């Protein structure tokens, strides 16, 4: 646990030691505002809810989360610090989890800083705050799942650009797998059971369910198990690299 | 204190970086690892420190097998990887605090360990400067300070004096000589004079195999050291993976 805590601390502080954290947070807040008020027509809708705010989160995360995750392992591999880290007396799982939790914690800071929009909607009307709270939980879980995918892909390369591009692509598939553009490709030949499996892998389906105000255990389990599975793969990849 | 037995490392089916290396290093010994680039020096060190898993053979530190008890081995050794990597955005103080935490140094012992390591490596003047902005010599010393911080019984250093100016080289060699009586030390180098200066024993490695294992005096009997080195090794004909 000591190792996990220290790796987490070092990584988390690392974000704020460089301009990265501030630039990321400013851009994230700017884009959430832009999408909510212009694309989402927050005022024109005339409804006291944050549905317009949350509905853009999957699409913002699709590009912004890989920007956080791309450096997680690729940078350490390139600079050689991975050799230092992996020869310290810290178990592998603690390093993987510590780095991941620091990245997630950072994403949560950015998400938490969107609170003015929650205050605004309460000032303007009488929204269902339970739904908003559930949506924040859903958004946090979804960000975590994107990050786990990104962390694992970052461990496969020393090139951050490759990590970014591949992560965006894989995350895109996970995001849209419930939409017709993916399902149509399978519907002609695949059995219905397979179609439902593919559709059930969609971030959108699960996130929408949560933003409707119901934190269903199934959606939580979905995001948590997906995150767990990717992080497990992350550890396996590092073990494989060790074996050469 | 260090036992290496028939260690083999293959990268894919074609490249054999280390091909059956065996040796022992006891307390008070400074083993110099010599060889051309790509001979397998770094790869051998990476296997002893648990960064790479051996394809076959084993490495033991204080009787613990690195594959079976990696954490135990990592606790008892200090390692300076090639190029002395450190986190560029941290200052030496932050970096050494991080390492000391991982090494479970706490309270007064922590401060003392950092003070001793800083004094020995002469880092005093740059403790609050980001590592990124330090000169190569200072970066190397940060790496050294990190490796000796917990006063480990076993020290493994990959080219500890590479890229240092003559004064800095002298300081690092003196530091190694000071610590030598209480530790088992392996250093790799391709500077032959270094072997005479600090090593009690030298192993020359070529294409992943040991081609000589002798004291500097014994090597000297066979002629000038650089000539012996050239006779025994084959230069760049075979470039292994780093």
Q: How far apart are CA B82 and CA B64, in angstroms?
A: 24
- DSSP one-letter code for B149: T
Is the distance from CB of B200 to CB of B30 less than 8 angstroms?
yes
Q: What is the pLDDT confidence band of residue A67, given thresholds at 50, 70 and 90?
A: very high
DSSP codes of every residue in B70-132: HHHHHHHEEEE-TT----TTS-HHHHHHHHHHHTT--HHHHHHHHHHHHHHHT-GGGTTS-GG
- 3-state DSSP call for residue B189? strand
CA-CA-CA-CA torsion sign (B84, A7, B72, B108): positive
Q: Which of A166, A163, A180 is CA-nearest to residue A77?
A: A163
Is the distance from CB of A183 to CB of A195 less than 8 angstroms?
yes
Place of tokens 């892909």: A153
Torsion of Cα atoms, A84 then B155 then B44 then B240, to 10°: 70
Chain B: residues touching A (Cβ < 8 Å): 9-12, 46, 49-53, 55, 71-72, 74-75, 79, 81-83, 85-90, 94, 98-99, 101-104, 146
CA-based nearest distance A224→chain B, Å? 29
With CB atoms and an 8 Å threshold, state whether B81 touches A79: no
The alpha carbon of residue A34 and the mean position of all alpha carbons in its chain are separated, in whole angstroms, by 20
Tokens of A110: 């950015």
- Summarised one tens digit per residue, pLDDT across range B144-153 is 999 999 999 9
pLDDT value of position B242: 44
With CB atoms and an 8 Å threshold, state whether B98 touches A17: no
| Average pLDDT value for residue range B77-102 | 94
Which class for B51: exposed (0-12), middle (13-18), buried (19 or more C-beta within 10 A)?
Answer: buried
Is the distance from CB of B188 to CB of B45 less than 8 angstroms?
yes
- Summarised one tens digit per residue, pLDDT across range B7-46 is 999 998 888 999 999 999 999 999 999 888 888 999 999 9
Q: Is the pLDDT of residue B129 over 90?
A: yes
With CB atoms and an 8 Å threshold, state whether A87 touches B75: no
Tokens of B131: 């590592």
Q: What is the pLDDT confidence band of residue A142, given thresholds at 50, 70 and 90?
A: very high
Residues of B within 8 A of A80 (CB-CB) are 81-83, 85
**Residues 6 or more apart in contact with residue B169 via CB below 8 angstroms:** B161
With CB atoms and an 8 Å threshold, state whether B86 touches A87: no
Q: Which of B78, B83, B119 is CA-nearest to residue B99?
A: B78
Tokens of A32: 């959430």
Q: What is the pTM of this model?
A: 0.90
With CB atoms and an 8 Å threshold, state whether A81 touches B87: yes
The ipTM value here is 0.88
Total CB pairs under 8 A between chain A and B: 70
Cα–Cα distances (Å) from B201 to A20, A64, B188, B213, B229, in that order, read 48, 54, 12, 7, 15
pLDDT value of position B148: 94
CA-CA-CA-CA torsion sign (A26, A29, A32, A35): negative
Q: Is the pLDDT of residue A39 over 90?
A: no
pLDDT value of position B241: 43
Angle at A43 between CA A39 and CA A48, to 5 degrees: 115
């Amino acid at each position: 646990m000591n190792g996990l805590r220290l790796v987490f601390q070092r990584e988390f502080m690392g974000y704020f030691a460089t301009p990265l954290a501030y630039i990321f947070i400013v851009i994230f807040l700017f884009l959430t505002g832009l999408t909510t008020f212009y694309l989402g027509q927050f005022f024109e809708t005339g409804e006291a809810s944050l549905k317009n705010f949350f509905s853009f989160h999957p699409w913002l995360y699709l590009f912004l989360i890989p920007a956080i995750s791309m450096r997680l392992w690729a940078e350490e591999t390139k600079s050689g610090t991975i050799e230092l880290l992996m020869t310290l007396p810290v178990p592998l799982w603690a390093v993987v989890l510590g780095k991941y939790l620091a990245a997630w914690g950072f994403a949560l800071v950015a998400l938490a800083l969107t609170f003015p929009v929650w205050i605004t909607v309460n000032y303007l009307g009488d929204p269902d705050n339970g739904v908003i709270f559930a949506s924040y939980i859903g958004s946090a879980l979804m960000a975590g799942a994107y990050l786990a995918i990104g962390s694992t892909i970052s461990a496969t390369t020393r090139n951050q650009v490759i990590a970014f591009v591949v992560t965006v692509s894989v995350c895109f598939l996970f995001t849209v797998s419930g939409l017709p553009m993916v399902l149509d490709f399978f519907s002609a030949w695949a059995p219905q059971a397979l179609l439902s499996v593919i559709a059930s892998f969609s971030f959108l389906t699960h996130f929408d369910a949560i933003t409707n105000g119901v934190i269903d255990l199934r959606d939580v389990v979905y995001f948590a198990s997906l995150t767990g599975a990717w992080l497990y793969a992350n550890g396996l990849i590092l073990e494989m690299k060790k074996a050469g | 204190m260090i036992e290496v037995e028939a260690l083999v490392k293959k990268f894919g089916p074609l490249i054999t970086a280390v091909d059956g290396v065996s040796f022992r290093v006891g307390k008070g010994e400074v083993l110099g690892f010599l060889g051309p680039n790509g001979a397998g020096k770094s790869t051998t060190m990476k296997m002893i420190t648990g960064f790479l898993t051996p394809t076959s053979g084993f490495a033991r530190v204080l009787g613990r097998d690195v594959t079976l008890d990696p954490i135990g081995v990592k606790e008892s050794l200090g390692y300076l990887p090639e190029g002395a990597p450190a986190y560029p955005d941290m200052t030496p103080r932050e970096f050494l605090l991080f390492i000391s935490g991982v090494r479970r140094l706490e309270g007064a012992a922590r401060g003392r360990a950092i003070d001793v390591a800083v004094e020995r490596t002469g880092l005093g003047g740059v403790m609050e400067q980001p590592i990124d902005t330090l000169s190569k010599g200072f970066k190397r010393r940060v790496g050294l300070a990190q490796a000796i911080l917990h006063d480990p019984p076993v020290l493994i250093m990959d080219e500890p004096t590479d890229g240092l100016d003559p004064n800095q080289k002298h300081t690092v060699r003196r530091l190694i000589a000071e610590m030598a009586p209480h530790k088992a030390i392996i250093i790799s180098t391709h500077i032959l004079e270094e072997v005479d200066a600090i090593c009690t024993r030298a192993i020359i490695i070529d294409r992943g195999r040991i081609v000589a294992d002798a004291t500097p005096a014994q090597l000297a009997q066979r002629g000038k050291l650089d000539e012996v080195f050239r006779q025994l090794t084959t230069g760049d004909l075979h470039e292994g993976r780093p």
